[in-house]
């Protein structure tokens, strides 16, 4: 007997099915607690727009040398590296501190 297993990504805000890569899992943290939410493209844009003034005013926190990080942290670092490379190739300027501005993140998401 043949089986087909289908996995669907569901938007955690409106319950819609995320199709054709038009969405993503967004990891974020608040008050030292880490969260992840699955959002379709429109809700991801709303989420990023709502956070943009706070991100713009915030400073980047990095893991001190010698500290261990989880595999999720490593995956997020890999994603940031991919975004940074894509942004450079597509004419976005990345500040000297290495932070990736919201405009570049949104453009990367739209392109992928």
User: What percent of the chain is predicted at pLDDT more than 70?
Assistant: 83
pLDDT at 90: 85
pLDDT at 46: 95
In angstroms, the CA 11 to CA 8 distance is 10
1-58: CATH topology is Wheat Germ Agglutinin (Isolectin 2); domain 1 (3.30.60)
| pLDDT profile of the chain (112 residues), mean per 10 | 85 91 85 87 93 88 62 66 83 72 82 82
How many CB atoms are located within 10 Å of the residue 44 CB?
24
pLDDT at 65: 60
pLDDT at 95: 67
Q: Secondary structure of the chain: what % helix, strand, coil (to 5)?
A: 40, 20, 40
pTM reported for the whole predicted model = 0.52
Domain locations in the chain? 1-58, 65-112
Q: Give kind and range of the element (H or E) at residue 37.
A: strand 33-40
């Amino acid at each position: 007997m043949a089986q087909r297993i289908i996995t669907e990504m569901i938007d955690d805000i409106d319950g819609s099915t995320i199709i054709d890569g038009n969405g993503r899992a967004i990891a974020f943290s608040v008050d030292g607690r880490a969260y992840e939410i699955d959002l379709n493209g429109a809700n991801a844009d709303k989420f990023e727009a709502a956070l943009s003034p706070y991100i713009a005013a915030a400073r980047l926190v990095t893991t001190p040398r010698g500290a261990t990080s989880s595999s999720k942290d490593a995956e997020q670092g890999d994603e940031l590296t991919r975004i940074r490379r894509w942004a450079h190739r597509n004419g976005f300027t990345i500040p000297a501190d290495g932070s990736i501005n919201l405009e570049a993140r949104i453009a990367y998401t739209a392109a992928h």
